[in-house]
Amino acid sequence: MDATASPAILEEPLERLVSRWPESRGMLPWDLPFVLPPWLKAWWDAFGRGWEPRVLTVVSNGRTIGIAPMRIRGQEARIIGDVNVCDYLDFIAEPGREEAFLVALVGHLRQLGVRRLDLRVLRPESVAARFLPGVAGKMGWKASLVQEDVSYELQLPSSWDEYLDGLSRHQRHEVRRKLRRLEETEKHLRLRVVEEREAVCSGFAAFLELFRSSRPDKDEFMDAPMTAFFHSLVETLAAQRMLRLYFLEVDSEIAAGVLCFERGATTYLYNNGFDRRFASLSIGTLSKLLTIRECIERGQSVYDFLKGSEPYKRHLGGKPVPLFRCRVRLS
């Protein structure tokens, strides 16, 4: 911990963070799409009612060393976002300054009257999971860190054949069988990639229809506030060239859709849907499988299936990553 630094806390509106983010995004490791200012703003506009936003910036010697986009209600504080639509959450901190950042942040939150921190869906390498329990312990506060969920991610090889070789014998057989069965129908198959902003926004209605029709629980999930959130998110991230919308077409009919986000060499599988008329062709699994192949061909390094333990993630080669919940009582 840097004992010589005396960091200051600055507060700013969320809108200000959004507007200045394009100029400052190279200064801090904004690695996760779910903590980017445009994502935070889309979430807040749809779901923030009942919470007070507190965007806290920690500055040391004139340099920003960390940002904490917080929401506060009563004596409890959480990171802006929630587990329903944000698969990972975290603070944004300069590497090597995490403890100084957290000491200043937690001290300020306590001055604001916060007595409980509840931080969820934290990856093992996150700032909160790695450093917050230790900082809290040094300051005499009670902290817990427990695993509450899991995500799956796939380290992408350099070729499709290498990917297939990395699957278990049974899963390799299943993948090839599904592809062969589709080929035997003599139908024309095309994976269409949409990434230009206008094309993404105009094509998103078709994706939503596939999403809603694929399962009753997905239709129930996509209520009016959630639909507004998705529209805002897609439009914003498409403008940042961070979104790829895949449509799997069979004989020119859209059979499935896959919505992915990208940060650098990582592709995040965010959501998918399919036309149940094509269910006998395992079209849902095939659509995801073909996006993996497309990512390998483009040289992506990681395919992240995100939160949840659905069996297909293991079947397609994903490896588990534990997700933690950190709770701190600021007594």
| 257-262 LR contacts (CB < 8 Å, sep 24+) | 257/206, 257/207, 257/210, 257/211, 257/287, 258/287, 258/288, 258/291, 259/207, 259/234, 260/291, 261/33, 261/237, 262/300
Domain that holds residue 209: 157-300
pLDDT per position as a tens digit, 228-260 = 999 999 998 998 889 999 999 988 899 999 999
Say yes or no to pLDDT of 45 above 90: yes
CB 84 within 8 A of CB 307: no
CB 12 within 8 A of CB 68: no
The answer to whether residues 37 and 69 belong to one domain is yes
Average pLDDT estimate for 92-119: 96
Is 314 within the bounds of a domain?
no
Nearest to 79 by CA among 29, 129, 125, 124: 129
What Rg do the C-alpha atoms of the chain give, in angstroms? 21
The pTM for the full model equals 0.93
Task: Give the CATH number of the domain where residue 139 resides.
Answer: 3.40.630.30
The answer to whether residues 184 and 281 belong to one domain is yes
Looking up tokens 């062969």, which residue turns up?
180
Look at residue 188 in the predicted model and tell me its pLDDT: 83
- Which positions ≥6 away from 89 have C-beta within 8 Å? 32, 34, 35, 79, 81, 119, 120, 121, 122, 126, 128
pLDDT per position as a tens digit, 257-315 = 999 999 999 999 999 999 999 888 899 999 999 999 999 999 999 999 999 999 999 99
pLDDT per position as a tens digit, 268-280 = 999 999 999 988 8
Mean pLDDT, the chain, rounded, equals 93
The answer to whether residues 129 and 163 belong to one domain is no
Count of the separate structural domains present in the chain: 2
The answer to whether residues 274 and 176 belong to one domain is yes
